[in-house]
Structure 1
């Protein structure tokens, strides 16, 4: 597909304009910083884009204000007593040093134990916890994929988990490959399921257009609540939408 990307400053707002072979204009504001992106038909000129963005300026500012108010975690030092999130719940980290393989375990409803070898530094501790988050997602995602592949009548060829700085998930419809953001391990399961359904819906409709929204409405009517929940929870210190 032919695409052309440029940046325009419209009424003080930096806008990423992506021209592609589509019929309608699609405007989005993305966390964590309120990046504005508009996808437009190849034939649409700059003036028409400016008018469309100006028409939505009030909505854009409201969305950006929501993101600005969204809580951010400070940089994690990976020490006992810190708050860490898993599946939408806040836990207190308890670091214990002992010989043997490192491990992570949820203890009751309030603590995550991180067992590490003596001398393990903060970066290594964070890597151990991230690997654990990845393993948890690897267990949670397959049944959700099976559920939504059956519901939507689609089939993925491959899927994976990785850190992403600009989105919660991504889909390559041609390759039938989907990716999920590692940060989803920290969010409620309903949010993870929403992203699974969202990405699989892209196998039926590539763009965030009226058909895409109608498909989500039909199969997951509560998706706007899950999206809002996802975008209201604390973000990691790392600056990384939907």
Structure 2
């Protein structure tokens, strides 16, 4: 299952001051694995800023509080800059009203929604010159609902076609899969895709808004679940074998998730 975001473990909450702002962060402590010589393997303190502006610090369970704080302060500027960038993304995340001028996405590119009235035309949606053009026969009280329905259906049709093309293109890499897996396009709020125990795939139509490389990542992720049903080390090795740069592609997709899933 490819989720939009995930966290694990117990957490502690702290904060530090940067400039005139208090920046909060969570500490997730993890047990240190035993080495082959029965000596503890040293685990570093790592810091991650999530697209939803959560700051998560992962540390060994026995790490000193002061050591954690110093590690955070050494990267304080980096944390602040990352938060500033993600906040810039979130400023654009507002509920869609399906009116002219709103931003829409398709295969990683931005398009401006334009709605026109034409009494002689059938209701349609098409891309033209950087715009997603919606034509209605006439404007009435149901205008917003009609535009939303037309746009959502347009995305679904495009998603079914493009996902099928990408699945067929990627399948030769998934040598452990027999035949062409069936898939459904199904709206999901927290997942990009999933794979059933029988190997049937479900893909989120909102994924069509992302670059093709991100679509490929989700499809390959789910194909790997046909061989490995959980996120074991074997699963991640299999995914890395077919997409060595999956981590950066996943980060790119997660960074835009709020915008792509917004409707």
Compute the TM-score of the two structures, normalised by the length of structure 1: 0.71
Identify if the C-alpha distance between structure 1 residues 128 and 228 changes in structure 2 by more than 3 Å, giving closer, same or farther: same
Distance 1:151 1:82 in 2: 39
SS for the counterpart of 2:234 is helix
Distance 1:170 1:234 in 2: 16
Once the two structures are superposed, the pairs formed by residues 182-221 of structure 1 within 5 Å of their partners are: 182-221=205-244
Identify if the C-alpha distance between structure 1 residues 220 and 239 changes in structure 2 by more than 3 Å, giving closer, same or farther: same
Give structure 2 stretches of 5+ with no counterpart: 12-26, 32-44, 54-85
Q: Cα distance, 1:143 vs. partner? A: 2.2
Q: Which residue of 1 aligns with 2:161?
A: 139
Deviation string 1:179-222 (CA, Å, 9 cap, x unpaired) is 11111111111111111111111101111121111111111112
Matched, 1:181 2:167: no
Distance 1:202 1:82 in 2: 37
Q: Cα distance, 1:53 vs. partner? A: 4.8
Q: Cα distance, 1:84 vs. partner? A: 1.1
CA RMSD of aligned residues (A): 2.9
Distance 1:117 1:37 in 2: 51
Distance 1:159 1:37 in 2: 29
Give structure 1 stretches of 5+ with no counterpart: 1-29, 39-48
Deviation string 1:55-106 (CA, Å, 9 cap, x unpaired) is 28x75x7344x32236242111111111111111111111011234311111
Residue-pair matches, total: 195
Compute the TM-score of the two structures, normalised by the length of structure 2: 0.66
Matched, 1:162 2:186: yes
> Over alpha carbons, which structure has the higher Rg?
2
Identify if the C-alpha distance between structure 1 residues 239 and 112 changes in structure 2 by more than 3 Å, giving closer, same or farther: closer
Q: Which residue of 1 aligns with 2:255?
A: 232
Distance 1:83 1:53 in 2: 37
Contact 1:156–1:177 under 8 Å retained in 2: no
Matched, 1:67 2:52: yes
Deviation string 1:86-143 (CA, Å, 9 cap, x unpaired) is 11111111101123431111112x2111112312421221111010011111111112
